[in-house]
Amino acid sequence: MKEHVLHSLYEAKAALDKLLSNASAIEAITLASDALIDVFRNGNRVFSCGNGGSMCDAMHFAEELSGRYRHDRQGLPAVAISDPGHISCVANDYGYEYVFSRYLESHARAGDCLVEISTSGRSENVLRAAQVAREMGMVVIGLTGRPASNLGQLADIEICTPGGAGFADRVQELHIKVIHILIELVERGLFPGNYEVPQR
């Protein structure tokens, strides 16, 4: 089994190396962090969503912003669209493709931001939410795993991180790395004191 452990780790390293050499993805991460900082500075909110493992990533993203990342600081208005009561109600009454967009119609406003996480970039509920967010005047940031995806075309900023192995798990590993970088950059922009080197 050891060879499978090593193979998995080398495969993950290759995917990260590929991201490191992707200048457009690095630029997109930078642009996305700038957009998030502007949203928070203007007193607006950030919403996040995704399906399955991507929903877990969306929840992780939101709680690190509203709660705490590396150091204490003011909580930031971020929420993942993951309430089971809302999702089951809307899925039952309207259809699963409306679970995210309906939440935005109820809670979001112009100037807010929607961060959507989708390895395929083609989930219907994610695409519908992106369309509604754009109509509402929100900023849409899409984390995808396939170039030229439908979500990428709808997003104002697309961060595409193909895993290289053809499986969603490698893409998700890159997505969580990007999510942590975005959170750090937001903190550096809004709470620079958290990253000052203490004087000795």
Considering the domain boundaries, does residue 3 fall inside one? no
Considering the domain boundaries, does residue 16 fall inside one? no
> How far is it, in rounded angstroms, from Cα 164 to Cα 121?
16
CATH number, domain of 134, equals 3.40.50.10490
**Which stretches of the chain score pLDDT less than 70?**
164-165, 198-200
Q: Which string of b and e fits 111-138 if b means at least 16 CB within 10 Å?
A: ebbbbbbbbbbebebbbbbbebbeebeb
Closest CA to 110 of 136, 145, 128: 136
The 10s digit of each residue's pLDDT in 16-32 is 999 999 999 999 999 99
Q: What is the pTM of this model?
A: 0.94
> How far is it, in rounded angstroms, from Cα 159 to Cα 139?
14
Strand, coil or helix: what is 145?
coil
Overall number of domains in the chain? 1
Domain that holds residue 125: 24-188
Considering the domain boundaries, does residue 197 fall inside one? no
Considering the domain boundaries, does residue 8 fall inside one? no
Considering the domain boundaries, does residue 129 fall inside one? yes
